[in-house]
Chain A
């Protein structure tokens, strides 16, 4: 594995520079721009996969890690300034690793949970994604138990084990704003809906202050009427991770609103 790690095909990525130069020349609304961006992301996907693999075997789902790494890559592509001297790879690697580190910091097992339960929880998380794709909605526990060929009691154990997951406070991630993803332009898009809420004058600055991802999840769920499964698909993490983030963000907002 470490041999593989040192063999990141650095040279292979140097030739993305012309692609970035082309991208930089295109107007933001030029349809060619999306095509060029996709091409760049696709071209660099092996880099994201490679980095994700290096973080494997730490009790996190490989799919989640891969998706987080890909998100990091998309961020790197969007933020890379081709006029700077640096090569894309030396910009992209820390960006992707930063995204993965943040994921590890955001989630992890707080309590000693038997390995069997951790694995079961991960298997459920993974099967949830697979079934959601297949069914076009969140699966039921019965469907999950059938998919995993386990009985419903065992499934229930695995689900509830998720409550032993560590969630750090939202407050400590607020300073991360600069490295956040822009999925939602502003809270302003939801002004109309927000104004129906009595305490919106207190609420709005709190929402504005949230890390972009947490804010996006709250806005899409409570003002955009999307389900957790739909949000998970949109931002590229598992439904269970959306659930955890939502739970702790609401807790944070409750605390702040009652001050």
Chain B
């Protein structure tokens, strides 16, 4: 199906993976965050963590959408790993410096998540495949 970035071959897309594609428009954020909430809740993250995932997806998506190439698609992938929910939000952007790692937005992302990284590749002149990958641990017991 969708290939978010070169670092994760398609065979890692397992049965526990949820994928979503929306137009790169800000009014799609509500769709993305609603799915994020439902997935995080199903993964049995505690409600603080569910809320954090939702906000992080919102922030990462908004950041990418603001620099997305015209008519692009925002791809979101939620992967359920043991005790960890991994989220990748990706699109093609017009600049390579998204997000700015010293920005408030990035500070928000690092506060809300356990790990967060950016992956970017130049795919054409002025077009970059940019992905924000973050994880959120399930901190309390319960299956």
Residues of A participating in the B interface, judged by any CB pair closer than 8 Å: 128, 137-144, 152, 155-156, 159-160, 163, 196-200, 203, 221-222, 225, 227-229, 239, 243, 246-247, 250-251, 253-254, 257-258
If A141-B42, A196-B107 touch, whether A229 touches B47 (CB-CB below 8 Å) is yes
Q: Are B37 and A229 in touch, CB under 8 angstroms?
A: no
Q: Are A160 and B48 in touch, CB under 8 angstroms?
A: no
Q: Are B33 and A163 in touch, CB under 8 angstroms?
A: yes
Indicate the member of B38, B45, B48, B108 with the most A CB atoms within 10 Å: B48
Interface presence of B30 (CB below 8 A): yes
If A225-B111, A228-B51 touch, whether A137 touches B34 (CB-CB below 8 Å) is no
A203-B30 Cα distance, complex, nearest whole Å: 25
Interface presence of B115 (CB below 8 A): no
Q: Are B55 and A227 in touch, CB under 8 angstroms?
A: no
A–B pairs, 20, beta carbons within 8 Å: A138-B47, A139-B46, A139-B47, A142-B142, A142-B143, A159-B37, A159-B38, A159-B50, A163-B33, A198-B102, A221-B111, A222-B107, A222-B108, A246-B51, A247-B54, A247-B55, A247-B58, A250-B108, A257-B105, A258-B66
Q: Are A257 and B104 in touch, CB under 8 angstroms?
A: yes
Interface presence of B44 (CB below 8 A): yes
Q: Are B34 and A160 in touch, CB under 8 angstroms?
A: yes
* Contacting residues, chain A, for B100 (C-beta < 8 A): 198
If A140-B47, A142-B142, A227-B48 touch, whether A250 touches B102 (CB-CB below 8 Å) is no
Q: How far is the CB of B59 from chain A (nearest CB, A)?
A: 7
The residue in chain A whose Cβ has the minimal distance to the Cβ of B108 is: A222
The residue in chain A whose Cβ has the minimal distance to the Cβ of B100 is: A198
Q: Choose one: B30, B41, B51; the contact of A239 (CB below 8 Å).
A: B51
Q: Are A140 and B45 in touch, CB under 8 angstroms?
A: yes
Q: How far is the CB of A51 from chain B (nearest CB, A)?
A: 29
A196-B46 Cα distance, complex, nearest whole Å: 30
Closest 4 CB pairs of A and B: A198-B102, A138-B48, A138-B46, A138-B47
Q: Are A163 and B30 in touch, CB under 8 angstroms?
A: yes
Q: How far is the CB of B85 from chain A (nearest CB, A)?
A: 13
Q: How far is the CB of A122 from chain B (nearest CB, A)?
A: 15
Q: Are A156 and B42 in touch, CB under 8 angstroms?
A: yes
